[in-house]
Structure 1
Amino acid sequence: MNQDGPIACVPWFRVVAESPEWIVVSKAAPLIVHPSNGKSEPNLLQGIETLLCYEVANGMKAALINRLDRETSGLTLIAKTPTATRQLGRAMQRRQMHKEYTAIVYGHPAWEQTVCELPILRQGEVMETRIWLKQCIHPQGKKCRTEFRVLRRFTRNGEPFSIIRCIPLTGRTHQIRVHLATLGSPIVGDKIYGPSEDCYLEFIHKGWTSELETRLLLPRHALHACVLDFPFDEELIHTQDELSPDLEEFIAGADRE
């Protein structure tokens, strides 16, 4: 892959909330959450262990509770102790965590609020695919549900865009991205579910190019995990995060109304 330019922005994270048992951080794109495919590159788990090096030296073992895609920014929860790992893991399995995302999509949806309950599975299970991870809507897929609400409509260089609040009530792979694309509102910068999956294949082979910038507008998909609520020790913990700077900058480029 051509490494002349970054995928999106410098790998970075900051602490949003912390206790002796857990820590919530906001990660930037394209920071991966854990080591992947044997590649040597910065990752969130490594960063957390470096930040908490004293606790690690005293036996702490960090465990990721929720995982975000490389190109998704926002809130991530990490347990510090075995007790927290078990408790938070159970809460995740029982769907007791509330998550909200903000997405920037192409176009102005005809709806103000809607719910998508179309089932999703990996496309390769039912048809040939050039992208192993690509998901699709299919009746044999797993049940899933996402609630959507339009927060704002705007234009940029005369082209329509919208800011959407997304609330996934299940946690399927690429759920929000697939549901929005199916609804006719693909996420800006999405290399797989946006203008064409050819964008993803070109990116894999050539890296970020001027041609891709023209087609995708952003070097990563415009999806940010902005709310994460979870139960812990009989208390509901609420965490919230501002939209990432690169997405704020994109919105700031809106045409004057």
Structure 2
Amino acid sequence: MTRNRPVPSLPPADLAFVRGLVLHEDNSLIAFNKPSGLAVQAGSGIARSLDDLMAAFAKSNGKRPRLVHRLDQGTSGVIVAAKTQPVAAKLSEAFAGRDVQKTYLALVKGRLPDADEGVIDAPLAKVEESGKARMIVAKPDRKGAQAARTGWRVRARNGAFALMELAPETGRMHQIRVHLMSLGCPILGDALYGEGQATAPRLMLHAARLDLPHPEGKRLVLESPLPEDFRQLATSVGLQAGL
């Protein structure tokens, strides 16, 4: 839980908005269906973040849920917050220890692989360009390089377009986006690693499913429905068979 922070009074519109994002809630955690465009954390130029909106679920003592992993601002889909510090520690350990199975869907365009599935095993390193951080594929011995693996499967293809299912085994910054660029087929709408708005109005990457160990035992599977704009674009480029 986030401690010793004053809890702001959220406007009714914000309260309704964040409560409308809830996919699942129990005594340990809350899962949200994050829309594309909503930042996870506050920062320069960000007017509203999901972390700020956690105030809607604050207890009377001011403690509020803590997000235990991240999604890029442009990525839509399922994201989880812990209700207590012990739960946050357990879930953070599960994500760090690769005990969480993550499934993403992406619309891509480019030089598609001949195979229908495979694994991208390519280390990544962070670089600064024009004051912005981005990731690059790096040699394993490069300073700062981190191992990164992403399983992939083509669910549908049509010419240069494809609907791909991704299963990242590691959780590096921008991992799926960089790995798909390195494969030759960047995500539609990716302004950093692809052609940006020339291909889509926003990043077409969706966190569709999380399979994680629940702190109270057993496993919990969380699923987020495809956003309508994602579904419509997939249909418009002939990929509806993979939806």
TM score, norm. by length of structure 1: 0.78
* 2:183 is the counterpart of 1:183: yes
- The count of residues paired between Structure 1 and Structure 2 equals 217
1:1-257 to 2 correspondence within 5 Å?
Answer: 14-37=21-44, 39=45, 41-50=47-56, 52=57, 55-107=58-110, 108-124=112-128, 129-130=129-130, 132-139=132-139, 140=142, 141-154=145-158, 160-195=160-195, 213=197, 215=198, 217-232=199-214, 233-255=216-238
Summarize deviations over 1:32-63 as a string: whole Å, max 9, x none: 112113x461211222322x2xx522544211
4+ aligned runs moved over 6 Å, structure 1: none
For the residues of structure 1 that align with 2:166 and 2:55, how far apart are their CA atoms? Answer: 31
For the residues of structure 1 that align with 2:153 and 2:34, how far apart are their CA atoms? Answer: 24
SS of the residue corresponding to residue 133 of structure 1 reads strand
Identity of aligned residues (%): 30
Contact in 1 for aligned 2:34/2:77 (Cα 8 Å): yes
For the residues of structure 2 that align with 1:56 and 1:154, how far apart are their CA atoms? Answer: 50
Q: Aligned letter for 1:112?
A: D
Q: What are structure 2's unaligned runs of at least 5 residues?
A: 1-16
The aligned counterpart of 1:204 is none
Shift of 1:102: 0.3
For the residues of structure 2 that align with 1:187 and 1:131, how far apart are their CA atoms? Answer: 23
Seen in structure 2, the aligned counterparts of structure 1 residues 40 and 144 have a Cα distance that, compared at 3 Å, is: closer
Q: Which has the higher contact order (CA 8 A, sep 6+)?
A: 1
Seen in structure 2, the aligned counterparts of structure 1 residues 130 and 162 have a Cα distance that, compared at 3 Å, is: same
Q: Aligned letter for 1:46?
A: D
TM score, norm. by length of structure 2: 0.82
For the residues of structure 2 that align with 1:104 and 1:113, how far apart are their CA atoms? Answer: 15
Q: Aligned letter for 2:87?
A: A
For the residues of structure 1 that align with 2:28 and 2:79, how far apart are their CA atoms? Answer: 14
For the residues of structure 2 that align with 1:19 and 1:256, how far apart are their CA atoms? Answer: 36
Shift of 1:256: 9.7
For the residues of structure 1 that align with 2:138 and 2:86, how far apart are their CA atoms? Answer: 38
For the residues of structure 2 that align with 1:145 and 1:249, how far apart are their CA atoms? Answer: 30
Q: What are structure 1's unaligned runs of at least 5 residues?
A: 1-10, 200-212
Seen in structure 2, the aligned counterparts of structure 1 residues 183 and 78 have a Cα distance that, compared at 3 Å, is: same
For the residues of structure 2 that align with 1:164 and 1:148, how far apart are their CA atoms? Answer: 7
